[in-house]
Structure 1
Amino acid sequence: MNENKIKHLEFIQGVINRMGQNSFLLKGWAVTLVAGLFVFANTQDMEWRMISIAFIPSIFFWLLDGYFLWQEKLFRKLYDQVRKKAEEEVIDFSMNVQPFVREVHSWISTCFSNTLSLFYLPIISIIIITIVVAW
């Protein structure tokens, strides 16, 4: 296999790994922040107001996590394209994923994928239930 092709695939794989790591960290931060706000709200007189603040970071983390997953899917398409290149084709080390935007579901659609919905919907449901109970 062409040495340049291998190096280009390594660059793309590095980006894919970073996107996955970012997604993992966001999930950890989301749980930590919501749990922290719940604990803090339990010590305050205005419980439901403090708990409702947990909505904001939960929604933003969900959207940001969806963005990272969307980018990861785009880079996987780029990886696949480079992988299929013939030996004689020129490797330009391009990291441009724009040509694949039409091949992958939109960013917002990716936010509602099973992977993210099964994580963030329970968190938001717990926030809503807790607000109703605390109110």
Structure 2
Amino acid sequence: MKNGENKRLHIQMIENIINRMSSNSFLIKGWSLTILGGLITVYLANINKPMSYLILLLCLFFCLIFWISDTFYLREERCFRSLYEIVRKKDEENIDFSMNPIKSKETFLRCMFRPIFLMSYLPIFIIIILAIIIKFIH
């Protein structure tokens, strides 16, 4: 097609994936707040019980799982954004509808310590670790 329809459709397919990755990341943040808030409430209700530290360990586990999951979706989104840029610059006759994401130069750990994650997951993670240390000291 000479009118750019293939390029437009390919870009739209990539945009749909990017939107899905963003939505998944948003859902993970919502679920993390809900589950961690609920577990912390259960811990505070049972703070004087001998095994209450297990609830804190569960909080730590879930915080790490949500952080890793959120990092995965952000990194995937960045890979598809790179693919978007490549397709955007292609000529119409070179459009092949490939949906293979471009490997990001950013490592998983580097992505995990982006400012958005350091401001959201790291404080919770540190507070839970401090609560566990205080629980073991007393």
Normalization by structure 1: what TM-score?
0.88
1:57-76 equivalences in 2 (<5 Å):
57-76=62-81
Report the alpha carbon displacement of residue 13 of structure 1 after superposing the two structures with TM: 0.3
Counterpart of 2:18 (choices 16, 19, 27) is: 16
* Distance in 1, Cα, partners of 2:96 & 2:40: 50
Hey, what's the Cα distance between the residues in 2 that align with 1:6 and 1:83? Answer: 9
State the partner residue of 2:95. 91
User: Helix, strand or coil for the counterpart of 1:94?
Assistant: coil
Report what 2:121 is aligned to. Answer: 120
* Aligned residue pairs, count: 131
CA contact (8 A) 1:12 1:79 kept: yes
Shift of 1:73: 0.4
The aligned amino acid for 1:36 is G
Structure 1 unaligned spans of 5+: none
Identical-residue share of aligned pairs (%): 38
Alignment RMSD (CA, Å): 1.5
Name the amino acid aligned to 1:20.
Answer: S
Name the SS for the 2:94 alignment partner. Answer: coil
Residue 86 of structure 1: CA displacement?
A: 2.0
Determine if contact 1:73/1:104 at 8 Å carries over to the other structure. Answer: no
Q: For 1:83 and 1:94, how far apart are their aligned partners in 2?
A: 13
The letter for the 2-side match of 1:41 is Y
Structure 1 residue 30 displacement after superposition: 1.1
Name the CA distance, whole Å, in 1 between partners of 2:133 and 2:107: 33
Q: Work out whether residues 74 and 104 of structure 1, in 8 Å CA contact, stay in contact via their aligned partners in 2.
A: no
Show the 5 A alignment for 1:90-109.
90-97=94-101, 100-101=102-103, 103-109=104-110
CA distance in 2, matches of 1:84, 1:48: 55
